[in-house]
Structure 1
């Protein structure tokens, strides 16, 4: 049974006014006579916008501008630096339809998934705007010698941050990381993917209208082979979200300069449905966890482990819900899943499914492309009988495909969940939340959601989010999501006596005094 569709909209609905495109393009760091690139909308393959590209010399000029404006920006009180971001949520709400259209048109995703990006930028920027002053203010630290040594920790901005954001969540994974970097006092040179740069340009234009200095956040677009190295070579810090292969290449490039970085990379994320799970709730949660943004989500579930006690009830219900999903190109909330974004993604998904089926996997739902809807559509797909010799068993598919496995032993399934070089996200379903948390603590992943697929952890902005193993280095969100863009400095002042024997006291007796003081401090719980 094919996934149902919603009526297609006319070609005019999948275009943007040229005046708007020109305004957004004015924020791209590019010179006169720059080469251009035309980006299509994945829904139809028709041209969406023609944009000027950045060259290596443009990168150098961007860094010069950024360093000048960053010094002035960093000198401002934090309460002034957060003002544009405090105003941003209201401005986003007022122009919600405009940005949702842009996100859909450049990515091909369903509007309900574009809405997740909208909410993330609004809420994450507000979270840090409310907390930046407290996180960045000088902190008193305890001294080993109270009263004699006074210790203070300061936070200084890194300088100019190179931030490389991915194509799959361009609005969210650009702006929500750039906001804390700017609040921390940095300037940012931002390289979004060329295909999906319009949403970043849109929010940059909006922030400039809210008072952000124009050259503080600069957008560069182009071929990584041409501008990637100059971008990395000029940075004081690098933030990257993308593939594990890309993250390793970045780490190698910046290592000789000992430039620090944060990397959120790939995943092959597991979901475990325990024997006491609410089957209906888990089945509906699995649809969201596996097929949001057509599976083009680094924290999406691609491996689904179901306990034998509920397998025969869960799998049919899950498959039924998947077959009911509506595919469509509309700029409304009717479609439950949209398009893939690139031909290469469609090719990869097709190759993984076809190879698995040829090797003996069984298709329970989906399993084919849908060019009748749009050039890059692929049905949400559920497979069983997937074995370790198949590519989609262990390799990230990054598309609307999930493989389902039956299990009987919890210890064994935790081992299977952890049997991967990745460790980004995981999901556990049970009616016993305490049990779910115990299982979650044994899974080697940076975030684990109990009775949710990915959203519960991701929108908990006060908690860190990132990957174990080859899924990343560093964290977004939490205090670290802002403080990683700073350098910590300790200033200690000594009072009343120096750190040497007083008067004519010999060093042997002074050493005895120091040794005995350790016992005294322990007894008095000073240390």
Structure 2
């Protein structure tokens, strides 16, 4: 089955007009300039009830389609995103703050289309569990019903697609609640995707915390997917208990990277930098604390300072910039407070750490902090911004112990010229994913999930797709 979208390419203005509320709502401001980006609806619990009811009514017909038919719709949605890529990227840059270029807005929009296509391509055939000539048992996966999705403000479009793509492919309908900070991006993305889907298969309900709380506890939601803080994840677990709904939680991380003494500092410096500073550090699985062996500590610090000096930061619509502002004032204050804590402790700021007081926007400079104690707040608390603490270690055992000391474990990385040695160290780290000589490199084919208090459940790949289905055994 092949579908094509008849939608013309939107301009950013047309997208904003299409998603604007007919009355009420609130202005969304550009975190780089303070200018009004557009007006977002402030929807009510009653509107959420209506969206869930319509999604439930539409779900049986959607579920009756074959996997290949639903995949055709996902591919058509990817076509629609690609046809509107520049308008979506411009809106994302203005609302979230990330630049158009680098691993930022255009990259994120492109990833939305790629993730839809990858999810559409996965094969999910019944699995033979027993076939011994005496008995037969097969494992099938059936749609759950209606999936609720609550997303964050750091990668609002891409993470929304991570949630909705497998849910739709499995035959569920979806109700999305976007972050209050970035509702326009998600509303616009859904508007484009819905040009390729049947009516009421995908809904977005934009609003405040009351909408998220109502969604997580609603008896009409069969599964909830959430990406965000550990504290909010715990609240969702509590609110979902009465309905025993299934959960996939991708929660906070404070990812460690361990640099072994055999590393070539200059060869890995750029990848180290982007592992930490992608999206100006506002990424759950970004490198947030770096442990460097004493033999190469100075060389790694110097190489990172050199790379940081060549990464321009500024307004996202300027094609020259690759780093943008923090998305909101609250996050800016967290980063600033943690860096000041490091300074007060006697840690050495190698670069950055001095935001311009009268600069428009929430810009915090790329900051590298050396000679810092492992117990400092900048190390133990997730900064979620452009400030990287670099901790010196003497033995591998010491580095692994420090990396594993926190109660989170989303991702981690090991850096070495000896891959076999790096794999040995990686196996000792308590994290859902450990990368070697890279960090944060997610792939739609590779399952992804957290350890400890970084959440539970898997996303991506066939294993992630199965998490959006109800397992059923047929035995005969």
Give the TM-score normalised by the residue count of structure 1: 0.84
Whether the aligned pair in 2 keeps the contact of 1:346 and 1:378 (CA below 8 Å) is: yes
> 1:332, CA displacement in angstroms?
4.8
Match of 1:140 among 123, 128, 137: 128
Whether the aligned pair in 2 keeps the contact of 1:165 and 1:174 (CA below 8 Å) is: yes
Instruction: Report the counterpart of residue 487 of structure 1 in structure 2.
Output: 470
C-alpha distance 209-371 of structure 1, shift in aligned 2 (>3 A): farther
Deviations 1:374-432 (A, max 9, x none): 32000011112322553212011111011111112112111111111110111111111
Instruction: Report the counterpart of residue 249 of structure 2 in structure 1.
Output: 263
Whether the aligned pair in 1 keeps the contact of 2:213 and 2:239 (CA below 8 Å) is: no
Q: Does 1:470 align with 2:453?
A: yes
Instruction: Kindly report which structure 2 residues correspond to 1:223-262, keeping only aligned pairs within 5 A, or say none.
Output: 223-225=208-210, 227-233=212-218, 234-262=220-248
What is the rounded CA distance, in whole Å, between the counterparts of 1:410 and 1:350 in structure 2?
31
Deviations 1:313-371 (A, max 9, x none): 12112112213321111425421211110000111111111122122222111002235
Instruction: Kindly report which structure 2 residues correspond to 1:75-224, keeping only aligned pairs within 5 A, or say none.
Output: 75-111=64-100, 112=102, 113-131=104-122, 134-135=123-124, 137-143=125-131, 146-210=132-196, 212-224=197-209
What is the rounded CA distance, in whole Å, between the counterparts of 2:199 and 2:426 in structure 1?
44
Instruction: Kindly report which structure 2 residues correspond to 1:443-454, keeping only aligned pairs within 5 A, or say none.
Output: 443-454=429-440
C-alpha distance 44-258 of structure 1, shift in aligned 2 (>3 A): same
Is the partner of 1:375 in helix, strand or coil? coil
What is the rounded CA distance, in whole Å, between the counterparts of 1:370 and 1:119 in structure 2?
33
Instruction: Report the counterpart of residue 7 of structure 1 in structure 2.
Output: none
> 1:467, CA displacement in angstroms?
0.7
Deviations 1:454-502 (A, max 9, x none): 11xx12x222111100011111112221111110111112xxxxxxxxx
> 1:130, CA displacement in angstroms?
1.0
Match of 1:278 among 264, 276, 280: 264
Unaligned runs of at least 5 residues, structure 2: 1-10
Match of 1:42 among 31, 36, 39: 31
Alignment length (residue pairs): 463
Match of 2:296 among 310, 316, 321: 310
What is the rounded CA distance, in whole Å, between the counterparts of 2:335 and 2:150 in structure 1?
25
C-alpha distance 242-311 of structure 1, shift in aligned 2 (>3 A): same
Is the partner of 1:309 in helix, strand or coil? coil
C-alpha distance 190-24 of structure 1, shift in aligned 2 (>3 A): same
Instruction: Report the counterpart of residue 4 of structure 2 in structure 1.
Output: none
Is the partner of 1:21 in helix, strand or coil? helix
Instruction: Kindly report which structure 2 residues correspond to 1:250-399, keeping only aligned pairs within 5 A, or say none.
Output: 250-370=236-356, 373-399=359-385
Is the partner of 2:333 in helix, strand or coil? helix
Match of 1:54 among 25, 34, 43: 43
Higher mean alpha-carbon deviation, 439-448 vs 83-92, is at 83-92
Whether the aligned pair in 1 keeps the contact of 2:40 and 2:183 (CA below 8 Å) is: no
Instruction: Report the counterpart of residue 70 of structure 1 in structure 2.
Output: 59
Deviations 1:162-199 (A, max 9, x none): 10010000011001220110010001110011321222
What is the rounded CA distance, in whole Å, between the counterparts of 1:226 and 1:77 in structure 2?
32
C-alpha distance 432-213 of structure 1, shift in aligned 2 (>3 A): same
What is the rounded CA distance, in whole Å, between the counterparts of 2:62 and 2:449 in structure 1?
29
Match of 1:24 among 16, 19, 24: 19
What is the rounded CA distance, in whole Å, between the counterparts of 2:370 and 2:448 in structure 1?
31
What is the rounded CA distance, in whole Å, between the counterparts of 1:481 and 1:180 in structure 2?
7
Unaligned runs of at least 5 residues, structure 1: 1-15, 27-31, 494-527
> 1:50, CA displacement in angstroms?
1.1
C-alpha distance 247-404 of structure 1, shift in aligned 2 (>3 A): same
- Who wins on radius of gyration, i.e. which is larger? 1
> 1:43, CA displacement in angstroms?
1.3
What is the rounded CA distance, in whole Å, between the counterparts of 1:341 and 1:18 in structure 2?
22
Deviations 1:186-241 (A, max 9, x none): 0111001132122222232222222x013111001111135522453131101000
Instruction: Kindly report which structure 2 residues correspond to 1:398-413, keeping only aligned pairs within 5 A, or say none.
Output: 398-413=384-399
Higher mean alpha-carbon deviation, 242-251 vs 380-389, is at 380-389
The CA RMSD measured in Å over matched residues stands at 1.8
What is the rounded CA distance, in whole Å, between the counterparts of 1:18 and 1:120 in structure 2?
23
Instruction: Report the counterpart of residue 512 of structure 1 in structure 2.
Output: none
Whether the aligned pair in 1 keeps the contact of 2:146 and 2:174 (CA below 8 Å) is: yes
Is the partner of 1:285 in helix, strand or coil? helix
Whether the aligned pair in 2 keeps the contact of 1:188 and 1:216 (CA below 8 Å) is: yes
Is the partner of 1:39 in helix, strand or coil? strand
What is the rounded CA distance, in whole Å, between the counterparts of 2:212 and 2:83 in structure 1?
35
